[in-house]
Amino acid sequence: MKVALVMGSESDFPVVERGLKILKEFGVETMVRVISAHRTPDQAVAFGKKAADEGIGIIIAAAGKAAHLGGVLAAVTVVPVIGLPIKSSTLDGLDSLLSTVQMPKGIPVATVAIDGAENAALLAIEILALQDDQLKAKLIEYRAAMARAVEESNVRLQKHL
């Protein structure tokens, strides 16, 4: 199953790319699209409607400002949607966060932190890992490597004190 990373504008890509990198490191198949809920609404609905048939297992929807992309996609598919609010220049991403996370009951969008592309990717991998033992093993090793890095940083810091 692949993960689709959909963003409202090419200007979102520098953030989205951080998640894309992690998905690639884990060997997950991806597709990346620029589709806007406001500027190309027909394409957004069409993409959501055929997502399941195209073998998409999870959609990461990145958008900023009045960030309706995740909600629009989630409205037309039962493929899980992870919302990635992008930090906008005017309201520091609070607008994006609230318009992504505050979905009405019945249509969930699992929203990560503002600009939290890494966690969006890791959450997608965790969902896929429910049915993929190799991915699960990689996630466990990823966590262990993270813990080792923290311990090493602690040792480094102690030397300077």
> Footprint of ligand RP5 on this chain (CB under 6 A)?
7-9, 11-12, 36, 63-65, 86
**Please, which residue, 65 or 110, has the CB nearer to ligand RP5?**
65
Structure tokens belonging to residue 56: 């998409």
Could you tell me which residues come within 8 angstroms of residue 17 by beta carbon, excluding any fewer than 6 positions away?
A: 117
For residue 8, the minimal CB distance to ligand RP5 (Å) is: 2
Cα separation, 119 vs 146, whole angstroms: 14
Least separation in angstroms between residue 40's CB and ligand RP5 is 10
Euclidean distance between the first and the last CA atom of the chain, given in angstroms as a whole number = 49
CB of 4 to ligand RP5, least distance (A): 15
Nearer to ligand RP5, 65 or 117 (CB): 65
Give 57-73 as a DSSP string.
EEEEEEEESS--HHHHH
> In the complex with ligand RP5, which residue's Cβ is closer, 57 or 64?
64
